[in-house]
Amino acid sequence: MPATTNRKMSPVSITRVVIDDGFWSPRIETNRVVTIPHEYRQCKETGRIDAFDLTWRPGVEPVPHYFWDSDVAKWIEAASYSLATRPDPELDRLLDEVIEKIAKAQQPDGYLNVYFTVVEPEKRWKNLGMWHELYCAGHLIEAAVAHYEATGKRRLLDVMCRYADYIASVFGPNPGQRYGAPGHEEIELALVKLYRVTGNRKYLELSKFFIDQRGQKPSVFQRELEHLSDEDSRLNRYFFDKNGFDTSYCQDHLPVREQSEAVGHAVRAMYLYCGMADVAVETGDEALLRACRRLWDDVVNKKMYITGGVGSSRLNEGFTQAYDLPNKDAYAETCAAIALIFWSQRMLQIEADSRYADIMERALYNGALSGISLDGKKFFYVNPLASDGTHHRQEWFGCACCPPNIARLIASLGSYIYSESAENLYVHLYISGHADLNIAGTSVRISQRSDYPWDGDIQIEVEPDKAAEFGLNLRIPGWCRKASLALNGAEMDISSICNAGYVRIHRKWQPGDMVRLNLDMPVERVVAHPNVAENLGHVALSRGPIVFCLEEADNPVPLQRIILPRDAKLTAVFDEQLLGGVVKIQGEALLIDDTDWGDELYRFNPTAVRPYSFTAVPYYAWDHRTPGQMRVWIRSL
């Protein structure tokens, strides 16, 4: 594999980014002082952390689960990111304590998985399709890299290098090694992270091997089933359909370079696509990159909710056919939206195209952020776009992948804002604070100040140590129809310097240069493709990156009866007392009136309507008040 890289830019590490933002800083602090400690307690009380002591014996409850390791790993990752940006001696001590438990649980040959060490050791590597061993290994590797980069401590990194070395000795194309791939993808992207931090190319080659195993005929999972008991085979029920054996559930239906449609379990798919993008970057594999582009277009243009949620079906926690986007029954797992953000960021670094940043932002402010309560203690696993009032966040789940996932995303937010290359600085997200970069051989501090996402007036100061020539690239979001730009008070023509959604100001920058970008933020009516049957005759409301919804708490009427006329005036108002301080949308609509109806179910006379004043609030903040109906899509005429 050639040692090439295709990235046009690289993300700036969170250790070089300081966030001082009215919207995000309180959330990051809540994540640090509430969410991360809450998740530690949950992992402790449910037995996940102490399971690494390997003291479980038959008959003892709780029985460790085969994916418990991944929950602890994501907590370590979230805590490590937090530690990288805010010193915390107690959190540092807790991390060392948990990591030491993990290190001591490692087996003499390097293997590391609680369940298959103490519960069913005879089943190690027997059911890769459904038993999550490689998935857990991947999350532990990610945790090790994050902890090392945050603290410089090698304890967990050395443990996971040893585990990865063992995995590389078991799986591979050489004599004495075995075929196989993870049923739940994740280790692919983790191995590339491990390669990047260690320089050991063996990890990159192993990632590529796992990716290339998918889509074999017969399937690696089908061959695996031949050696399973009937009882264990039943766990692979997702691999069968009316036509026989089908592993599209885990994206194994075709070799990855031939795939064009996103199928199967959404989180698995997103993690696979992340790994594909990473391997494509490091190996110069254009066929792999072309597949990523095709799959991206399929997801974003045919299978994604307006919130950035993906995976519409509860049956497979994933994709069905194009335009199948039910609202109340939407699955839209929090982890899937987060993984879409991961994939978006990777494609963005490769292509330098704002369409990837647009989706990254959409999922961040809507489909992912909805997954955590404002107080940082409760979580959505599923994110529907309509509710009858019975869907609520919970403090924890038996399958607890989502809580630590949203925690690690928020803790690492700084790494999504900026990118750098030899001669260019990119601003992807408008989040106040500053970052220290190295562009054109010069140290450059870039500072942002705004009230985003509520206001599109953004001030950016560029402070090179000395005068330096480079390009400053600012994203013009896809949702913005009108923008203006000024440099040191002089207006600039955006159209002449805009490419792939970024305006590029290339000049010899002087300390103190000021750029002002203004993104127009009217309230917008959004319509769905006509093939999305549920949304025909409906609109959704958005403003800037935020998607809004109706809640019964503001609109004490059956929400399905509210009709929004095309010419209704819509007003955005900031309410500092509402839901932690949000912009709300108010407007005049019509309400279908049932006061003149009796007991009849049908009648010939038309139904009366009356004027109705409604309020819509940001979707991410729903389900924080008196339980009641919620809906994103509003009837329109």
Task: Note whether 546 and 540 are within 8 A (CB).
Answer: no
Of 359, 365, 494, give the one whose Cα is nearest residue 431.
365
Quote the crossing angle between the two packed helices 155-170 and 89-105, to the nearest 10°. 30
Question: 403 is written with which tokens?
Answer: 């809580």
Euclidean distance between CA atoms 588 and 172, whole angstroms: 64
Active-site option among 274, 335, 401, 549: 401
Beginning with the edge strand found earlier in the chain, give each strand of the sheet holding 433-439 in spatial order. Answer: 17-19, 433-439, 442-449, 457-464, 513-519, 483-487, 490-492
How many beta carbons lie within 10 A of that of residue 579, not counting itself? 17
SS3 131: coil
Q: DSSP E strands: which ranges in 310-378?
A: none
Question: Counting Cβ atoms within 10 Å, is residue 498 exposed (0-12), middle (13-18) or buried (19+)?
Answer: middle
Q: Which of 77, 317, 333, 534 is catalytic?
A: 317
Provide the 10 A C-beta neighbour count for residue 603.
Answer: 10
* Gap between the Cα atoms of 209 and 213, Å rounded: 6
Residue 213's φ and ψ, nearest 5 degrees, are -70, -20
Q: Work out the burial of residue 286: count CB atoms within 10 Å of its CB; fewer than 13 is exposed, 13-18 middle, 19 or more buried.
A: exposed
C-alpha to C-alpha distance for 17 and 12, rounded to whole angstroms: 8
Side-chain-facing half-sphere of 220: CA atoms under 13 Å: 27
254 pairs with which residues across the strands?
none
**Which CA distances in Å does 469 have to 214, 227, 459, 485, 625?**
46, 63, 20, 19, 52
Cα angle: 50, vertex 54, 58; to 5 degrees: 105
Query: Does the annotation mark 401 as catalytic?
Result: yes
Q: Among positive and negative, which fits the CA dihedral 165, 166, 167, 172? A: positive
* 108 preceded by a cis bond (ω within 30 of 0): no
CA-CA distance, 587 to 569, in Å (whole number)?
Answer: 6
Residues 6 or more apart from 610 whose CB is under 8 A from it?
A: 590, 591, 593
H/E stretch holding 92? helix 89-105
**Residue 371 DSSP one-character state:** G
Cis ω for the linkage preceding 611 (within 30 of 0): no
d(CA 553, CA 622): 10
Q: What is the 3-class SS of 22-63, one letter each residue?
A: CCHHHHHHHHHHHHHHHHHHHHHHCCCCHHHHCCCCCCCCCC
- Alpha-carbon separation of residue 174 from 179, 183, 206, 355 (angstroms): 10, 22, 12, 41
For the chain, give the number of residues: 637
β-sheet bridge partners, residue 502: 475, 499
Asked if 136 is an active-site residue, the reply is: no
CA 320, distance to chain mean position in Å, is 20
Antiparallel, parallel or unpaired: β 634-636 and 562-564: parallel
The rounded Cα 417 to chain-centroid distance in angstroms is: 15
Kindly list the catalytic residues. 317, 401
